[in-house]
Structure 1
């Protein structure tokens, strides 16, 4: 027994000496990170920094409309309609590795999506980025292509309860949200009075977590942004591609800015307009209907305005109190007699710590349609939402 312990101790001591000698011989400097990060760097010789983070969002939802459940589904003949519920909205974990001064790798997963059908879900970001300089950067993998304001923010720092209806519709059609492809982006004249940013992307366009593309067509997008988002900026977005051998397009324009009203009061303003083919709707139609018209006859468009008044309080851990009201008009089928949706999202938010490290939100989602369809979410509804958030 004593010999076995002595042999184990000798082997451990030799391994420690070898690892230390290898770390001293490594040409890469040791970064000022946690003990775990430094140990990884010493043993591998090339990783500079690994960081972990995430966000947790839990909410209570109550429906204030009879026969409409907490998901906005109208169920007039149901035996019991679930009109209030606690739920986990997001439980995200992210790992990001600064492999060198030019290479970065990132993975983001949402564990809350294990509560339902996980097909095409859970994995959100999974990409490698290469930085040449401020003007030339590349990303390949699964990421959010820049095609509007909402692609530039994570959902946990937006000034509303969730992303807009148009964001999810254009995401379902492959222009926004998480897609698989490649992107080139950069910025110019950042110290001048008119800084500019650009982003060019080519993606499969059939959404995230797919083994491969479902056709030979690809979607290409471009974004130009002029100005400073902390003051005033203008964004121009355009996209063109092919889906199942038919040409599709999308375009948009957005404006954002911050207007100081008083020493402690700011008005943050965001607004977007988008238009494009709704090819997801088109290819979901029966062949008898699709044979009469091409995808160019199926157009979606929408606009939203989101003013957010922020009072900077800085009282202990409470950093600000915010009041916002997002109005959105969205038509998923503009050239036909489809359902037009108007949404009103008033919200009061208490922000704690830096960058919404802690947050409590009180709001409503008021949806009004020009026509109601029983048994669907296309129905007038009023949802009360209370949400708690922690970023780490």
Structure 2
């Protein structure tokens, strides 16, 4: 498997050097002016909060069923209080930091710090990145929560995050685009510890490798293919996802977008929790699917930018082989946009969550919930 990744890397580097020999990068011209370059700092903040109401008896807003009928069925919550900084050191070097201060409300150990990485832009074809960041595996790793088309990450994303295939990791990456030479392809390659964020050291000598290829096959249709692999307790395991994004401008006021993804891989978290022999790892697999259409009505007025209607459908099976319990979730949502680029947004959300088998006293229990959510980014 590693030979395959080395082959891919070699091919991408060959493509880069071939293209660079024929095309003068715009970044090259900026190097001559490095001495006169002025360093700059950009600081942003994001606040996302909600008020939730559970409509299901004995199930709290945290999704956990209470055997004693003592569940908290409504309440306010701050999901994100993020502060980010981007520090442009030279035309090619920058550093990025992102923290989520809302995680201080609980045990902050292993949390709070999300991004902390440095980046070097050689040209349009190759960017190098090192530190803590989200590896480029799956469509939801490519944007921040403020650009999300629903109220939160998909169940699929959270499940694969628990097995450390996705979300914040320590590692290195290189990525780029071949669009400047009329090749509609973006590539992303990441190598990371696979232990999650804010972990001082790796717990073994194996690394996770992930690869994403993305192409706009025709205007308005972008497909992505992702693959990840690692040597886990001397066993080769992996995961992959396929995704599709579409965008159609229906007229001057109406836009239609869709986002969909299918993921399949090993459920390493459940395997570790089970504490069984490593040969049993083949029995711990999961897969998930979601489809998210979004219709936007654009309003070009000061203080009133538009209305969005979306409905995410999800199907997730976290353990295919052992006591399978499929989960289906439908999330209708209406959002009112008061500033460009979702800088000010208010949303009303319905969450319809269904398990095939309810498990009393756990979070695997069917529930209906209503959510009012606000988002401010500045």
Could you state the TM-score of these two structures normalised by the residue count of structure 1? 0.85
Name the structure 2 match of 1:89: 79
Q: Does 1:384 align with 2:370?
A: yes
Name the structure 2 match of 1:327: 313
Which deviates more from structure 2 when the two are superposed, residues 129-138 or residues 168-177?
Answer: 168-177
Q: Are the counterparts in 2 of residues 229 and 258 from structure 1 also a CA contact under 8 Å?
A: no
In the TM superposition, residue 153 of structure 1 has moved relative to its aligned partner by: 1.1
Kindly report which structure 2 residues correspond to 1:60-99, keeping only aligned pairs within 5 A, or say none. 60-78=51-69, 80-99=70-89
In the TM superposition, residue 246 of structure 1 has moved relative to its aligned partner by: 2.1
In the TM superposition, residue 228 of structure 1 has moved relative to its aligned partner by: 7.6
Question: How far does the alpha carbon of each residue in 1:60-110 deviate from its partner, in whole angstroms, 9 at most, with x for none?
Answer: 0110000000111100314x3210001111000011101101111011000
In the TM superposition, residue 156 of structure 1 has moved relative to its aligned partner by: 1.3
Could you state the TM-score of these two structures normalised by the residue count of structure 2? 0.88
Runs of 5+ in structure 2 lacking a partner?
A: 1-32
Q: Does 1:271 align with 2:257?
A: no
Query: Matches of 1:226 and 1:340 in 2, distance apart?
Result: 32
Query: Matches of 1:245 and 1:277 in 2, distance apart?
Result: 14
Q: Does 1:105 align with 2:95?
A: yes
Q: Are the counterparts in 1 of residues 95 and 118 from structure 2 also a CA contact under 8 Å?
A: yes
Kindly report which structure 2 residues correspond to 1:285-364, keeping only aligned pairs within 5 A, or say none. 285-286=274-275, 290-291=276-277, 293-364=279-350
In the TM superposition, residue 364 of structure 1 has moved relative to its aligned partner by: 1.3
Name the structure 1 match of 2:173: 183
Query: Matches of 1:241 and 1:324 in 2, distance apart?
Result: 36
In the TM superposition, residue 27 of structure 1 has moved relative to its aligned partner by: 7.3
In the TM superposition, residue 231 of structure 1 has moved relative to its aligned partner by: 1.8
Q: Are the counterparts in 1 of residues 215 and 224 from structure 2 also a CA contact under 8 Å?
A: yes
Name the structure 1 match of 2:11: none
Name the structure 2 match of 1:16: none
The 1:103–1:292 alpha-carbon spacing in structure 2 relative to 1, beyond 3 Å, is: closer
Size of the aligned set, in residue pairs, is: 346
Compare CA radii of gyration and give the structure with the larger one: 1
Q: Does 1:238 align with 2:224?
A: no
Runs of 5+ in structure 1 lacking a partner?
A: 1-25, 32-47
Query: Matches of 2:181 and 2:315 in 1, distance apart?
Result: 37
CA RMSD for the aligned pairs? 1.7
Name the structure 2 match of 1:207: 196
Query: Matches of 1:358 and 1:111 in 2, distance apart?
Result: 19
SS of residue in 2 equivalent to 1:170:
helix
SS of residue in 1 equivalent to 2:66:
coil
Q: Are the counterparts in 1 of residues 124 and 178 from structure 2 also a CA contact under 8 Å?
A: yes
The 1:174–1:230 alpha-carbon spacing in structure 2 relative to 1, beyond 3 Å, is: farther
SS of residue in 2 equivalent to 1:159:
coil
In the TM superposition, residue 242 of structure 1 has moved relative to its aligned partner by: 1.4
Query: Matches of 1:27 and 1:264 in 2, distance apart?
Result: 44
In the TM superposition, residue 318 of structure 1 has moved relative to its aligned partner by: 1.3
